[in-house]
Amino acid sequence: MSLIYAASLRALKSLLLPFWVPVLEGVDNVPVSGPLILVSNHPTVLDGLVLGSVLPRKVRFLVSTEPLKVPLVGWWLRALGFIPVGRGEGAMDRTLEALRQGDCVGFYPEADPTHCYELQPFHKGVALVGEWTRAPVVPVTVYGSEQLCAADCKYVSGGHVWITFGKPLYWQEGEATADFLERMRAEVRKPLQNPPAPRPRPRKLSHWLCTALWTPTSWALLKLADFVRPGGKR
């Protein structure tokens, strides 16, 4: 784990997790070593921050090239080991190489943030990678973030975010790519069919201190997201 990743992780654990308080289920389903594919729904643009903060290992997310063009932000994401997805970036080759090296790679197969819990069609790339590498695929379901970071919000609110890690899936010999992809999608969708009961907003002092930090910070980040990806794709 690089120094930049370790420092970023420590900062997020201290400053984000008291604000977006994670409620975790199934973390034991995440292998702590070896090649691993995470496939998650994507309610908001900030899901990767909280997901990366609670994992027991480093994760390299695939990310579109738009934020990578932003000064400092792009440098930071590349320093974290994120894999750019775009024309000429060689995302597939980089992903396969990362898995060959035993890394954990995170996919958002819906591509853009959805701001809802109705799963959009999954892009088939993640199924192909799972088929070619035979790496375990852990389905991840994020719930609660959409209410905290709605599509038209001016700043992000604090509260609980539920993250469920399903049991690893594997490509089965002779299985069609589309069928493997649908199995992933079905497992990600399962926890959304029985959502958890709402919880009161956290009352700890650390939560309110982080709220004072994240209210202006998230306003600036969302303004930046609107500039980088116009059209409501934040």
Residue 121 belongs to a domain with what CATH number? Answer: 3.40.1130.10
What pLDDT shows up at residue 156?
Answer: 94
Is 230 within a domain?
Answer: no
Q: What is the signed CA dihedral for 142, 196, 138, 185, rounded to 10 degrees?
A: -80
What pLDDT shows up at residue 82?
Answer: 93
Would you say 46 and 145 are in contact if contact means Cβ atoms under 8 Å apart?
A: yes
Is 225 within a domain?
Answer: no
Q: What is the full per-residue pLDDT of the chain (234 aa) written as tens digits?
A: 789 999 999 999 999 999 999 999 999 999 999 999 999 999 998 899 999 999 989 999 998 877 777 778 888 888 899 999 988 788 999 999 999 999 999 999 998 889 998 999 999 999 999 999 999 999 999 999 999 999 889 999 999 999 999 999 999 999 999 999 999 999 999 999 999 999 999 999 999 999 999 999 999 888 877 777 666 566
Is 74 within a domain?
Answer: yes
| Residue recorded with tokens 């643009």 | 45
Closest-CA residue to 156 (of 108, 211, 196): 211
Q: How far apart are CA 195 and CA 193, in angstroms?
A: 6
Closest-CA residue to 153 (of 222, 207, 214): 222
Q: How far apart are CA 64 and CA 112, in angstroms?
A: 9
Is 97 within a domain?
Answer: yes
Q: For the chain, what is the domain count?
A: 1
What pLDDT shows up at residue 107?
Answer: 97
What pLDDT shows up at residue 2?
Answer: 86
Is 41 within a domain?
Answer: yes
What pLDDT shows up at residue 163?
Answer: 98
Q: What number of CA atoms fall less than 13 Å from residue 112's CA on the CB side?
A: 11
Is 232 within a domain?
Answer: no
Is 131 within a domain?
Answer: yes
* Residue numbers of the domain that contains 183: 3-148+156-219
What pTM was computed for the model?
A: 0.92
| Residue 160, amino acid | H
Is 229 within a domain?
Answer: no
